């Protein structure tokens, strides 16, 4: 009797596993199985134009020039084992889905783009309608990107990108968070918010909970520079703590922080990236990009490996966490 029950339980479990839809990540070249996502950098940039929402147009850059400049950096990433990059350039700051698609196809690195609006930098990159439309109207725009593709390209976003100023949330920025929450509820897309200090981070988490959104749908972007008390609060809530500003000047500080995250058992909610790149159309082509995407691989990894980081730790923060944070149920 016992063996029969075990057999039935095993059979039923296998049946439900077969019926359970496999989760995907939405890239610019189409859906990718989350289990095949591989090593991912969750906050980088290919192109950024800082001219402002009231002046930006797509004719300010040449896709050919951007591809010529950026393709070698992505080919190097591919050689280093990186399989996925989240391009965090939002609308009105140079987001170009067709550029990202061609770069992905030519490099072999899968790329995710985003929907949402960036309110940080004192609203310089917000379009005029962001001031007058309601949260629901903004959400309708972002959901349309997900359902129909961005700006007629057919390319769907893989996450939501918003940004808020340091300090307490303004009413305008609170509206962006509400719009992101409502977009998440209709699409499943994860919310990445350019935030920085802990005060607006925790206020955003509170807004999300008021909207019925679990904090595990929220990535606290630029969390570096805060302390373990704040990280503990975010982790207890279930939010993602994203340390994304790694460069050659702060390798030691990042190593110290990651070791503390490991010691406090926070690695299961830790994300890591450079916030690097990028092609700036306001600069002459011979200036190249500001920073490449390799400090993690060439400097931080060796440093942490010497100090006790294991393959399991790296797999957690660079493979398992991104897959969990950004995966969707297929529609």
Q: Is the pLDDT of residue 1 over 70?
A: no
Residues in Cβ contact with 181 at an 8 Å cutoff, skipping those fewer than 6 apart: 191, 207, 208, 211, 212, 213
pLDDT average, residue stretch 175-188 = 98
Is 18 a domain residue? no
| End-to-end Cα distance, the chain | 41
Give me the domain span that covers residue 57.
Answer: 25-326
- pLDDT given at position 6: 53
C-alpha–C-alpha distance, residues 64 and 41, integer Å: 24
pTM of the model: 0.93
Helix (H) or strand (E) holding 67: helix 63-79
Is 2 a domain residue? no
Q: Is the pLDDT of residue 12 over 80?
A: no
Q: What is the mean pLDDT of the chain?
A: 94
Q: The CATH number of the domain where 33 resides is what?
A: 3.20.20.140
Q: Is the pLDDT of residue 256 over 70?
A: yes
Quickly state the pLDDT bin for 330 (edges 50, 70, 90). confident
- pLDDT given at position 2: 47
Is 207 a domain residue? yes
Tokens of 208: 């999300």
Is 52 a domain residue? yes
pLDDT tens column, 53-86 = 999 999 999 999 999 999 999 999 999 999 999 9
Is 13 a domain residue? no
- pLDDT given at position 186: 98
Is 19 a domain residue? no
pLDDT tens column, 276-310 = 999 999 986 666 788 999 999 999 999 999 999 99
Q: How many domains does the chain have?
A: 1
Is 46 a domain residue? yes
- pLDDT given at position 245: 96
Is 331 a domain residue? no
């Amino acid at each position: 009797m016992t063996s029969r029950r075990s057999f039935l339980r095993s059979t039923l479990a296998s049946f439900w596993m077969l019926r359970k839809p496999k989760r995907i990540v939405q890239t610019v070249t189409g859906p990718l199985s989350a289990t095949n996502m591989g090593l991912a950098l969750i906050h980088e940039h290919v192109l950024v134009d800082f001219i402002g929402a009231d002046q930006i147009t797509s004719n300010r850059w040449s896709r050919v020039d951007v591809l010529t400049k950026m393709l070698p950096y992505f080919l190097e990433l591919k050689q280093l084992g990186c399989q996925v990059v989240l391009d965090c350039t939002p609308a009105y700051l140079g987001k170009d889905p067709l550029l990202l698609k061609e770069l992905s196809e030519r490099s072999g690195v899968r790329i995710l783009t985003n929907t949402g609006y960036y309110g940080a930098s004192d609203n310089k990159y917000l379009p005029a309608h962001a001031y007058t439309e309601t949260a629901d109207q903004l959400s309708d725009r972002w959901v349309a990107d997900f359902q129909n593709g961005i700006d007629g390209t057919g390319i769907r976003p893989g996450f939501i990108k918003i940004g808020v100023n340091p300090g307490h949330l303004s009413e305008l920025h609170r509206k962006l968070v509400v719009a992101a929450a409502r977009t998440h509820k209709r699409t499943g897309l994860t919310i990445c918010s350019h935030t920085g200090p802990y005060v607006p981070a925790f206020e955003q988490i509170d807004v999300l909970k008021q909207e019925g959104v679990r904090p595990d749908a929220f990535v606290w972007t630029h969390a570096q520079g805060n302390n373990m008390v704040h990280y503990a609060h975010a982790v207890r809530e279930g939010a993602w703590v994203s340390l994304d500003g790694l460069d050659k000047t702060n390798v030691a500080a990042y190593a110290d922080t990651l070791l503390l995250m490991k010691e406090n058992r926070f690695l299961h909610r830790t994300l890591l990236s450079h916030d690097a790149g990028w092609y700036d159309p306001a600069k002459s082509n011979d200036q190249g990009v500001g920073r490449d995407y390799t400090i993690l691989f060439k400097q931080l990894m060796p440093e942490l490996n010497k100090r006790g980081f294991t393959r399991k730790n790296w797999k957690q923060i660079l493979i398992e966490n991104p897959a969990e944070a950004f995966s969707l149920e297929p529609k």
